[in-house]
Structure formats: C-alpha cells, structure tokens
C-alpha cells in the first residue's frame, strides 16, 4: 500500500494505491535521499549484478524523483526487474498520483475527455479515451502512445501512458491524476491490464486537521 498527503489549509487529502509486490519499490517522497534509498534497495537484493544495476539505475531514479517533486506527486512507485535490462529505461514502469488543478467548470470527466482529445504533436496516434467509475470517483481514462525524441544512442523510444483523471467527491480543486507509464512494445498489453488493476485500488480520502495555532 502506498499513500500520500496533500494538505490544503485544514484539510488533508490522502491518496493510496496498491501495486504488485514483486520487484516494485515505493519511493519515499518525503525523504531528501529518496533516489539513494531506492538504489540501495536494489543493491540489497543481492547477487552479482545488483550493485552494478543499482549504480546504473540511480540517474533514472533521480530523474523520476525530480519529476515527481515538480508535480507534487505522491505516492510514487516504480518497477525494477530482477535482471538488468539491455537498454534504457532501466526503470521501465512508474506509477504516480498527482494533483491537477482546474476550475469548478473544468472539473468534470466530460471536460477532461474533450481536452484529452485535442491533437498533440508528441502523440504517435490518437489517444483512446473512455469514462470509468473508480472507487475514488468518476474518471476520464486516457491511453496514449508517445514517440519520444532520440536518446543518447540515437534510438526513438515509444512510451505508453494510461492516465486516470479522477474527480473525487468533495475534492473541489480539480482532478487527482493517476498515471502508469511503460516502454512500448516491450511490456505490451499485460501492462495495460496491470495499470487498470492499480487504478481499481486507488482511494482518495479526506481528513480534517486542526488549524495551525489551535488545540
């Protein structure tokens, strides 16, 4: 189980989701050394390749951490396979929750579906958009296929995203986004099924906290 707290005034919204246990790591976004902790967990798996793998994957963990901090994302979980991959990304799967502010008029599943359908230059094909009911609330589900810019080795990696833009009851600040991303076609349709399974466990609950200076 992973969780996060996004505090606004005297209200704390707690998001949580479950992910497969084997070879997944939860990133402690409250820690200053979150990338170091994750790399150490990989090294601690043991075996001849674990230390080298941890060192090789560390820069990607830093990038994931920096992106998550920029988005105020938490919880964040990553899948790191037991054997080092032959090409990057060495962290092939990430799952995160992040707030997506919007006005009251824009905070509807229909409005998000309309926004998601607009053409984008980075897309390899038109997105697949649907409306789903999650335990956390109604959501717009967007399945995208993106062709990235060439990397250091000159290859253009294709990435798949499944994002769920949830309108939690009583939230009132826009959407809560759950996104799962992976390289395509390396992991294929099985990963899309895993993304839906993760989304089905998403919960977003409201907790009242005492205002500062009160007892």
Mean pLDDT of the chain: 88
Cis peptide before 75 (omega within 30 of 0): yes
Residue 139 has pLDDT above 70, yes or no: yes
- Using one digit for the tens of pLDDT, what is the confidence trace for 25-54? 999 999 999 999 999 999 999 877 889 999
Q: Which residue has the higher pLDDT, 184 or 139?
A: 139
Confidence of residue 214 (pLDDT cuts 50, 70, 90): very low
Dihedral angle computed from the Cα positions of residues 185, 189, 193 and 194, in that order, rounded to the nearest 10 degrees:
-30
Q: Where are the alpha helices (DSSP H) in 72-126?
A: 109-116
Q: What is the pLDDT of residue 37?
A: 97
Phi, psi dihedrals of residue 44, rounded to the nearest 5°:
-75, -5
- Average the pLDDT over each of 4-8, 30-34, 59-63, 194-198 and give the range with the smallest value: 4-8
Of 206, 199, 203, 205, nearest to 131 by C-alpha is 199
- Using one digit for the tens of pLDDT, what is the confidence trace for 142-155? 999 988 766 565 56
Mean of the pLDDT values across residues 117-136? 92
Residue 198 has pLDDT above 60, yes or no: yes
Of 192, 168, 170, nearest to 182 by C-alpha is 192
pTM for the structure as a whole: 0.88
Q: Which residue has the higher pLDDT, 48 or 171?
A: 171
Q: What is the pLDDT of residue 39?
A: 96
Pairwise CA distance, residues 109 & 102, whole Å: 12
Q: What is the pLDDT of residue 190?
A: 85
Pairwise CA distance, residues 127 & 114, whole Å: 11
- Using one digit for the tens of pLDDT, what is the confidence trace for 68-93? 999 999 999 999 998 888 888 899 99
Length of the chain: 215
Report whether 176 contacts 204 (CB < 8 A): yes
Classified as helix, coil or strand, 73 is coil
């Amino acid at each position: 189980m992973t969780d996060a707290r996004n505090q606004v005034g005297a209200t704390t919204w707690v998001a949580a989701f479950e992910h497969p246990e084997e070879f997944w790591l939860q990133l402690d976004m409250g820690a200053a050394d979150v990338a170091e902790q994750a790399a150490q967990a990989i090294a601690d798996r043991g075996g001849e390749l674990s230390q080298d793998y941890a060192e090789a994957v560390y820069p990607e963990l830093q990038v994931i951490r920096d992106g998550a901090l920029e988005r105020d994302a938490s919880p964040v979980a990553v899948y790191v396979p037991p054997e080092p991959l032959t090409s990057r990304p060495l962290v092939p799967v990430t799952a995160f929750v992040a707030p997506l502010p919007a006005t009251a008029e824009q905070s509807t599943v229909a409005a998000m579906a309309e926004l998601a359908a607009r053409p984008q230059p980075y897309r390899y094909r038109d997105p697949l958009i649907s409306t789903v009911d999650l335990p956390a609330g109604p959501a717009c589900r967007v399945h995208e296929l993106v062709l990235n810019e060439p990397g250091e080795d000159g290859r253009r990696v294709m990435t798949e995203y499944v994002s769920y833009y949830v309108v939690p009851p009583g939230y009132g600040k826009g959407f809560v986004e759950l996104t799962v991303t992976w390289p395509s076609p390396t992991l294929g349709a099985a990963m899309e099924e895993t993304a839906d399974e993760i989304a089905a466990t998403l919960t977003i609950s409201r907790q009242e906290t005492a205002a500062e200076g009160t007892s």
